[in-house]
Amino acid sequence: MPVKLEDIAVQLASGYPSEDASAVAAEFVEALRIILPALAEKAEAARHRVGGSVEEVWKAIRGDAEASFQAALNEVARVKVLYVASKFMNNTAVGTMITQVALALAAGEEV
């Protein structure tokens, strides 16, 4: 079963301090939609370079992924973009879920 952006956003929102988890999740979905094209390109290149699992691809791209999040800063609150970026880079579960969606996007699947 493919991972959905909404599922990732709900997981991110569950750990984010806010009174309105659904509004925060919606902002996280927006941030993910903005950054996914850049991450998809990096993930696809890494998959060709390192092959293997989604986790191996995530490990290959997480170090230089920060620049991919820059575009979201114009549309989503900075603190929320930084939260998503931090979770992507430092949390294996979240990072691999986002990477899985990025790879699906790179493969031409609808996300």
Is the pLDDT assigned to residue 3 strictly greater than 90?
Answer: no
User: Which pair of structure tokens corresponds to residue 58?
Assistant: 């995530």
For all residues of the chain together, what is the average pLDDT? Answer: 94
Q: What is the mean pLDDT of residues 18-36?
A: 95
Is the pLDDT assigned to residue 94 strictly greater than 90?
Answer: yes
* Separation of alpha carbons 69 and 34, rounded Å: 8
CB 42 within 8 A of CB 88: no
Is the pLDDT assigned to residue 110 strictly greater than 90?
Answer: no
Of 94, 92, 75, 79, the residue nearest 35 (C-alpha): 75
Q: In this prediction, what percent of the chain has a pLDDT beyond 90?
A: 85
Q: pTM for this structure? A: 0.94
What was the pLDDT predicted at 1?
A: 66
Q: What is the mean pLDDT of residues 55-64?
A: 94
Of 79, 88, 65, 68, the residue nearest 8 (C-alpha): 88
Q: List pLDDT tens digits, range 31-57.
A: 999 999 999 999 999 999 998 899 999
What was the pLDDT predicted at 2?
A: 78
